[in-house]
Structure 1
């Protein structure tokens, strides 16, 4: 969720607080100056802007990789005021589905859908702010069309973040409610109507949103916006106590901590990335020991940079000539004079900028 520090907004907050003094958020230049230095990369591509102009609308992406023809891979992105977009790697819109207020999105391939395996897309549905739901969709890779399957209940509260987990026994969705509650929902889309069952509930103390699951290790990562990055045991039988990986201390993570993504390497190692929205940066931690690795920003080049990022996504592997080693996607909260969109960055550019082993 973007936070805009404006004089009007500050004045309104002071009135609501009975004219009490409200501390102003430090200006961006000061936040950047106080933060740990970050290397820079530039985007190689971008999507068409979402259809909702003059608003905080684009939010979260998900990636489907076409193993047979990597350049024909697809991106699903949310306009959280309107619905779901499907883009090609060229950034052009391939499809749009009016789904209302869907906030975050994730997908998994090879899931049983209506009797056959397919690509299951799940979004956090905020159309009813009191009763969270998961909206389920099927993505057709041949036509790049997305179709609605139905909705399942996901608990009381406002739906916010979403991430999926392919476990041996089931496909799960973790829905992060705005108050920091995390519900683990077992999904079944094999029949005519999808069903879901909450099997476990976890809790962080304050507003949370971004999350990602490492299917290899069964670890769930969740960003608590003003606190930092946490990990949970993602197994349905696992403990519900979180472990803090990093604090939103104004240095490595400048609050808000927002989107979360994973770069898996080998059986148990790799990197977890989190959006440091407060200073327009992205932070990298090593999975094996939670250690800090580095920070980077996506700056203006032939294509504009990204600022005030909400959702991020990362997938390693061949995505064709432009993204041969993997694809990183960041929501761009300030897309020049246009509506918000998503910026596409080659993972190999990030690896080189940070000096990571290749």
Structure 2
């Protein structure tokens, strides 16, 4: 169930509980998706070129967030890590088939970094926001073996008091960081060290948004952190541990460019400082682009039905530019599909070149 629907049904339950006492003026009918789409800024259409096998948790809000590892030596053999937030982590090939599943319990969002020192050698570090304890957030750390596509659990580190929700990773000259977004809008920056026998983490600073937040992404070139506050819009912070903690709002959830909920966040870096930040406009099944250099609005697109079904009610997204083989030569965009027809939820794979053409973006 999406965030907006959860809020609606929670309101309705409260209404029915207290209706005999006071009626229910606060509960408002949910605006139909067709109306939200009609009121929103027009969006270009693209179709997916691939999709993953549905997650194993059926008939539930389960699939959530993807991360991408690009195989530079053989791009078509790149891997996708995706969360089933009620069960654990999947590893998929670009053919969408499951390569591995690790029972990690309730892991919500996921990110990864290559070239990280893990137990004394360079490897791929996967970090997931662990919400198995709703009162105490954790980061669950894993090693991804690119040869076998297997995940190995490394351990957990403290993420702060509260419910774990979003996570993204950033790296600078000072080290490797994970940003864990708690459900109440708190963002804790955690310095990570996986070089020893067990990983360690230390909260180096905290930031705050006013309400429920989740999706995030870091631009390592400019040291900027982008965070989606679901009912409010898209923000950015200084991602440096010594940086300011005051957020700068890029765009509001105005029902036009961003139709709440604002959910997944991804980055397409181009050149030294330019490119795009992409946001899931969940309320109207769209994705919106803003320019990284000046925060200006660029355009919107939807993933619609084609040979493969489209994506709706998207939570997590991910995007990586570069060669991913013949189907995705210019980059790979992945969107969680919150309504995968009769099957359980999954992830849709889109060629970034198709988005570039649909929006008329410069190459």
Match of 1:257 in 2: 262
Q: Deviations over 1:301-353 (max 9, x none)?
A: 00000000000000000000000000000000000100000000000000000
Is residue 2:5 matched to residue 1:4?
yes
Question: Would the aligned equivalents of 1:229 and 1:245 in 2 still touch at CA under 8 Å?
Answer: yes
Match of 1:324 in 2: 329
Structural mapping, 1:208-227, within 5 Å: 208-227=213-232
Match of 2:361 in 1: 356
Compute the displacement of 1:10 (Å).
6.1
Match of 2:192 in 1: 187
1:159 corresponds to which of 142, 160, 164: 164
> TM (normalized to structure 2)?
0.97
Match of 1:24 in 2: 29
Return the alpha-carbon distance in structure 1 between the equivalents of residues 103 and 354 of structure 2: 35
Question: Would the aligned equivalents of 2:8 and 2:30 in 1 still touch at CA under 8 Å?
Answer: no
Match of 2:241 in 1: 236
Q: Give me the CA root mean square deviation.
A: 1.3
Change in Cα spacing, 1:154 to 1:354, as seen in structure 2 (3 Å) is: same
1:104 corresponds to which of 101, 109, 114: 109
2:275 corresponds to which of 270, 274, 282: 270
Change in Cα spacing, 1:134 to 1:8, as seen in structure 2 (3 Å) is: closer
Question: Would the aligned equivalents of 2:282 and 2:312 in 1 still touch at CA under 8 Å?
Answer: yes
Question: Would the aligned equivalents of 1:218 and 1:235 in 2 still touch at CA under 8 Å?
Answer: yes
**Gaps spanning 5+ residues in structure 1: where?**
none
Question: Would the aligned equivalents of 2:189 and 2:204 in 1 still touch at CA under 8 Å?
Answer: yes
Question: Would the aligned equivalents of 2:127 and 2:140 in 1 still touch at CA under 8 Å?
Answer: yes
Match of 1:123 in 2: 128
Change in Cα spacing, 1:180 to 1:10, as seen in structure 2 (3 Å) is: closer
**2:216 aligns to what SS in structure 1?**
strand
Task: State which drifts further: 16-25 or 248-257.
Answer: 16-25
Compute the displacement of 1:16 (Å).
3.8
Q: Deviations over 1:176-219 (max 9, x none)?
A: 00000000000000000100000010000000000000011100
Compute the displacement of 1:15 (Å).
1.7
Match of 1:339 in 2: 344
> TM (normalized to structure 1)?
0.98
Change in Cα spacing, 1:17 to 1:65, as seen in structure 2 (3 Å) is: farther
Question: Would the aligned equivalents of 1:285 and 1:294 in 2 still touch at CA under 8 Å?
Answer: yes
Question: Would the aligned equivalents of 1:188 and 1:195 in 2 still touch at CA under 8 Å?
Answer: yes
* Number of residue pairs aligned between Structure 1 and Structure 2: 358
**2:4 aligns to what SS in structure 1?**
coil
Question: Would the aligned equivalents of 1:180 and 1:208 in 2 still touch at CA under 8 Å?
Answer: yes
Change in Cα spacing, 1:226 to 1:6, as seen in structure 2 (3 Å) is: closer
Match of 1:65 in 2: 70
Return the alpha-carbon distance in structure 1 between the equivalents of residues 75 and 145 of structure 2: 16
Q: Deviations over 1:104-141 (max 9, x none)?
A: 00000000000000000000000000000000000000
Q: Deviations over 1:39-75 (max 9, x none)?
A: 1000000000000000000000000000000000000
Is residue 2:15 matched to residue 1:14?
yes
Is residue 2:44 matched to residue 1:39?
yes
Match of 1:135 in 2: 140
Compute the displacement of 1:166 (Å).
1.2
**2:355 aligns to what SS in structure 1?**
helix
1:92 corresponds to which of 91, 97, 101: 97
2:79 corresponds to which of 67, 70, 74: 74
Compute the displacement of 1:20 (Å).
1.2
Return the alpha-carbon distance in structure 2 between the equivalents of residues 173 and 5 of structure 1: 28
